[in-house]
Amino acid sequence: MIITRKKNFNKILEYLEGKTTVFLFGCNACAEQCETGGENEVKEMTNLLEKRGKKITGFSIPDETCYTMLIKKTFRENRDDITAADALLVMACGAGVKAVADIAGDEKPVFPALDTLYLANVARYGHFSEGCAMCGECLLGETGGICPHTDCPKGLLNGPCGGVVNGKCEVNIQNECAWIRIYTRLKKQGRLEVLKRITPPKDYSVQIKPRNTIIESRKKTQ
Amino acid sequence: MLTLRDALTSNRFVITAEICPPKGTDTTAFIKNAQLLKNRIAAANVTDNQRAVMRLSSLACSVLLLKEGIDPVFQMTCRDRNRIALQSDILGAWTLGISNILALSGDHVSFGDHREAKPVFDLDSVQLVQTISKLNNARNMNDTSLNSGTDFLIGAVVAPEANPLEPEMIKFEKKVLAGARFFQTQAFYDMENFKRFYEYAKRFDVKILAGILLLKSAKMAHFLNKNVPGVTVPTNIIEELESAPDQLEKGIEIAARQIRELKTFCDGAHIMAIGQEENVPKIIESAN
């Protein structure tokens, strides 16, 4: 689940200055669950913009706005409304905005209505916590399934810093120190020797951007 | 010039103290504090943007200390530089005459005056110690040989009152393995507890300089207990401060008392006076 947050409405008005007609995109996947880009939020945005004198030419809430094929389909199905819009406003994560912008081409301005925050676990509906930092070199096998990249604000790889207060993290005292949790779990599993090995520095070359992947079975059909 | 390396091999009790670089380019007060400490301490630690508050660079201030005839301990955190910048500055420090480095993770940027900054932490403190060891062997961290290397005395920190203690001790051992030869400890006030740590630490070939934090007042003690991780000021010390007519004088007396006791068993002491550097000579004299 990709977590998003609504941008300040004034920022959106700033984007749309001088634009009178707008087409809205939501997203029925992550943004719907975050209550940032589902049907309710698209309606709410429609009302807010109409109050400011904007005309909403139409809207679409694709099942997954990050799917380029779905966006192409949306463009086909809403050709007139999209053509009539001075700008497209996307209430989805950054990948959704990018998908819309790629299809919209060079002439049509596309703006984000949300900020994209992190990849989350869902504890229950509406309760999210950062799940994975997507570092490209999974360490969870050495850390008892607790991620120092994701859960330690410093991303330390060789144990706790001096900022542990009774097992809590100094950066946010509500949080358990990731390294104390790792230590406790490895100890229970009789695997403390793993903690005693020096973990080498991370290889950030695996994160050189932008990254693209085509899975093996699809390579022939691309 | 007295050097930390000589002092640590002499088997005499070694005293180091911390000096904080100024917030700006006027170094008058910094130099004045340094001159007060000259010949009284074996080396002076220069903090590296302590608490993530931007100050004059630790490298520049270390060089200023050298000019004053004081052996600097160049403190280096992993917070603000990636591995290229760290290695480059380590080499630079060596060519400028610095011969001691204290490797730290560094306080998170969220504590400081630039909360919006990108926290780097490309390396952690263990990996930084390892990197300095490599540079000491004329190789960079990727094992490429250098035209000439460094010969730093490498230090690190340890919190003897960390709770829980075991993960902190595992990390201490990793730092030793990586090449740390001296340790300056987090401040502590429970001497019996510290003795237990010292006995454990002496199984390794390292020198331990016990962290002494000058208590300026009972208010500061309460602040430390509330806000500074890994430091606990016990009630009896707070009461002692509270009942004193001059709390700063009492704080100096407590610090001196700790050092006197440390002299009976420990390798040395590291005095952190945070803004009260001018009182460090008094602590040292009272501890004689």
Choose the closest CB to A171 out of B106, B108, B166.
Answer: B108
Beta-strand ranges (E) seen in B41-152 are 43-46, 72-77, 100-104
> Which residue from A154, A158, A164 is facing B229, i.e. has the nearest CB?
A164
Tens of pLDDT along A48-64? 999 999 999 999 999 99
pLDDT of residue B147: 98
Residue B61 three-state SS: helix
Considering chain B, what percentage of its residues have pLDDT values greater than 90? Answer: 94
- The CA distance from A127 to the nearest CA of chain B, in Å, is 24
Residue B231 has pLDDT above 90, yes or no: no
A139 interfaces chain B, CB cutoff of 8 Å: no
Please say if the pLDDT value at position A124 is more than 70: yes
Mean pLDDT of chain B, nearest integer: 96
pLDDT-derived band of residue A221, with 50, 70 and 90 as boundaries? low
Give the C-alpha distances (Å, rounded to integers) separating A156 from A139, A178, A179: 12, 10, 9
Q: What is the pLDDT of residues A107-117, one digit of tens each?
A: 999 999 999 99
Domains and CATH numbers, chain B: 4-286 (3.20.20.220)
- pLDDT given for residue A166 in this prediction: 85
B108 in contact with A at a CB cutoff of 8 Å?
A: yes
Is the pLDDT reported for residue B228 higher than 90? Answer: no
Provide, rounded to the nearest whole percent, the portion of chain B with pLDDT above 70.
Answer: 100
Across the interface, of B111, B130, B167, the residue whose CB is closest to A160 is: B167
Residue A198 — pLDDT band, cuts 50, 70, 90?
very high
Q: Which residue of B has its CA nearest to A163?
A: B229
CA neighbor of B158 nearest in space, from B52, B230, B78, B254? B230
**Which residues between 204 and 233 in chain B have a beta carbon less than 8 angstroms from any beta carbon of chain A?**
229-230
Is pLDDT of B163 > 90?
A: no
Mutate to test the interface with A, among B120, B126, B161, B224 (most CBs of A within 10 A): B126
Mean pLDDT of A65-94: 98
Reported as a single tens digit per residue, the pLDDT across A80-117 is 999 999 999 999 999 999 999 999 999 999 999 999 99
| Interface predicted TM-score (ipTM) over 0.85 | yes
Q: What is the pLDDT of residues A156-194, one digit of tens each?
A: 999 999 988 889 998 998 999 999 999 999 999 999 999
Domains and CATH numbers, chain A: 2-118 (3.40.50.2300), 133-201 (no CATH)
pLDDT of B198 > 70? The answer is yes
Element (H, E) at B185: strand B182-187
- The partner residue sitting opposite B110, judged by closest CB among A161, A171, A201, is A171
Confidence of residue B80 (pLDDT cuts 50, 70, 90): very high
What would the two tokens of residue B3 be?
Answer: 């050097």
Mean pLDDT confidence for B185-193:
95
Instruction: Categorize the per-residue pLDDT at A222 as very low, low, confident or very high, splitting at 50, 70 and 90.
Output: low
Chain A CB within 8 Å of residue B84 CB: no
Amino acid at A141: G
Among A56-70, B128-142, B274-288, where is mean pLDDT lowest?
B274-288
- Flag if A164 and B177 touch (Cβ within 8 Å): no
B227 pLDDT tier (thresholds 50, 70, 90): confident
Average pLDDT, chain A: 96
Q: Is the dihedral of CA B21, B24, B25, B29 positive or negative?
A: negative
Q: Does residue A220 have a pLDDT over 80?
A: no
Maximum alpha-carbon separation in chain A: 66
Q: Check CB contact under 8 Å for A195 and B141.
A: no
A·B CB contacts under 8 A: 94
Q: What is the mean pLDDT of residues B157-161?
A: 95
